[in-house]
Amino acid sequence: MDAGTPQNRDTWGSKTAFILAAAGSAIGLGNIWGFPTQAGLNGGAAFLVIYLIAVAIIGAPVMLGELMIGRHTQRNPVGAFKQLAPGAPWWLIGAMGVLAGVIILSFYSVLAGWTMAYIVRAATGAFTAGVDTAAMFNDIAARPLPAISWHLGFIILTVFVVIGGVRDGIERWTKVLMPVLLVLLVLLAVRAVTLPGAGTGLAFYLKPDFSVVDWRVVIAAVGQAFFSLSLGMGAIITYGSYLSKKDELVSSAAWVTGLDTSIAFLAGLIIFPTMFATGFDASVQGPSMVFVILPSLLSTMPPEPYGGLIFGTGFFILLGIAALTSSISLLEVGVTWAVDEKKWPRKKAAMLLGAIAFVLGIPSALANGAVDWLTNVPGVGMDFLSLLFTIFGSFALIVGAFFISIFVGWKWGVKAGGDEVRATDGRFRLEGIWTVLIRFVCPAALLIILVQTLLDTF
């Protein structure tokens, strides 16, 4: 996939290829790590309900909006806003997206680095019954050298794939590996819900107690929905810009949203029963939670004594690849921008932005036990990685999505967006609902959430 001028740009091979690539961007650590972590911190089932509502009424319309902008302009987020609103400052939304992409990549790669370290652990037989998974986690994440080296390794991998042409790589891999990941998750979910004592976890995850809901929970759910769907910073504009003028928009958006949400739901179905059945309580929290709980479940997989080895290795390889297809899209936003707007060679853009993400990620790599003040940032009450996640993986995306919904709903216009859909889909069946959501519901809900976030913080 080479970003040239709109005239000679490459496109995805087919609608299926696009859905796979966009689903590859969406499905990643946000589903398996982010969703259960946030649900665990924010009341379980009540979070799940709010999350699903947020996906349906805010996430899906914004996803369609980003696709319309991307496909219509066939440009990177900065160029797209410049084309549709010449001379106006709307391009700043795109610029913020480029920045957010690099910063999210910086800590995303730390988490993905742990995933790679776990592949080695699992393959060398570390996942056996009764293993101390908290100690295993600390051995990887709390020692500076392994934490930084795995982070570096993953950045290099991401840069490598982005240089080598995303389209072929993504199309070939995701087609096979996504379905395998889905099957493996279903197997793990079956194992988790049949563990003795799984009932408490299921109740935590599926029986909502709305008395725990406050603004913090709503803000976390909406932010998590954007992070998981890769929305709010132009990744879907970028991927949509490579979508051909033949492929349907609405069904593409629906597929990506549905697949991503199903995988997040499954991840919760795996984590919470396991968490309660194995006696981890809700106090195992923060970025490490999922990385401590998953290996303990994988260690119980039959047949003894090879289950942990087989399922553990397979699971973390698939998770690593899911993370890679997401990190690619984080880097791709900046790379497409640098190639389109700054006329940099693709290779230079990928290497330079990758290097920046590596350096920016070092404090996050040291924030899980290696360095005290990063593990518990003074005056903030969380570790540095979680702080970056909150600011750039949640707040910035909500800001971005707010402006995108205003832009599509009021500035560029719902009519132009509708025409972009009709150009390929024939008719736009949900136009009425979408129009109400993108013009009124999304901006209003996001504005309230932004104001509430500022009130909560200051």
Q: Using the rule CB under 6 A, which residue among 3, 18, 23, 28 binds ligand TRP? A: 28
Count Cβ neighbours within 10 Å for each residue of 274-304 and write b for 16 or more, e otherwise: bbbbbebeeebebbbbbbbbbbbbbbbbeee
225 binds ligand TRP (CB under 6 A): no
User: Could you give the 3-state DSSP secondary structure of residue 43?
Assistant: coil
288 binds ligand TRP (CB under 6 A): no
Applying CB under 6 A, the span of 185-193, 294-302, 325-333, 439-447 interacting with ligand TRP comes to 325-333
Contact indicator for 166, 1 with CB cutoff of 8 Å: yes
CB-neighbour burial class of residue 458 (10 A; exposed 0-12, middle 13-18, buried 19+): exposed
Contact indicator for 192, 270 with CB cutoff of 8 Å: yes
223 binds ligand TRP (CB under 6 A): no
**Smallest distance, Å, CB 109 to ligand TRP?**
11
Q: Using the rule CB under 6 A, which residue among 67, 219, 222, 233 binds ligand TRP? A: 233
330 binds ligand TRP (CB under 6 A): yes
Q: Using the rule CB under 6 A, which residue among 23, 26, 62, 366 binds ligand TRP? A: 26
Q: E-strand spans in 53-209?
A: none
User: How many positions of this chain bind ligand TRP (CB under 6 A)?
Assistant: 16
Applying CB under 6 A, the span of 68-76, 230-238, 306-314, 408-416 interacting with ligand TRP comes to 230-238
d(CA 1, CA 321): 19
Site string for ligand TRP, 75-114 (x = CB under 6 A): -----------------------------x----------
**Smallest distance, Å, CB 133 to ligand TRP?**
22
Applying CB under 6 A, the span of 22-30, 87-95, 156-164, 165-173 interacting with ligand TRP comes to 22-30
Nearer to ligand TRP, 42 or 300 (CB): 42
Nearer to ligand TRP, 397 or 398 (CB): 397
Q: Using the rule CB under 6 A, which residue among 1, 21, 30, 42 binds ligand TRP? A: 30
One-letter amino acid for residue 192 of the chain: A
Q: Using the rule CB under 6 A, which residue among 115, 158, 224, 228 binds ligand TRP? A: 228
d(CA 391, CA 177): 31
329 binds ligand TRP (CB under 6 A): yes
Q: 10 Å Cβ neighbour count for 199? A: 13
Nearer to ligand TRP, 69 or 233 (CB): 233
Q: 10 Å Cβ neighbour count for 407? A: 23
d(CA 76, CA 34): 27
235 binds ligand TRP (CB under 6 A): yes
Nearer to ligand TRP, 261 or 288 (CB): 261
Q: Is the dihedral of CA 117, 118, 122, 125 positive or negative?
A: positive
DSSP string computed for 179-227: HHHHHHHHHHHHHHHTSTTHHHHHHHHHS--GGG--HHHHHHHHHHHHH
Applying CB under 6 A, the span of 26-34, 63-71, 138-146, 177-185 interacting with ligand TRP comes to 26-34
Which parts of 396-435 interact with ligand TRP (CB under 6 A)? 397
Q: Using the rule CB under 6 A, which residue among 109, 252, 288, 326 binds ligand TRP? A: 326
Q: Which residue is nearest to ligand TRP (CB)?
A: 30
Of the candidates 142, 452, 397, 146, the residue with the CA atom closest to the CA atom of residue 286: 142
> What residues contact residue 168 under an 8 Å CB cut-off, 6+ apart?
none
CA distances from 4 to 158, 246, 330, 333 (A): 21, 20, 19, 14
**Smallest distance, Å, CB 27 to ligand TRP?**
6
List residues near ligand TRP by CB under 6 A: 25-26, 28-31, 104, 227-228, 230, 233, 235, 326, 329-330, 397
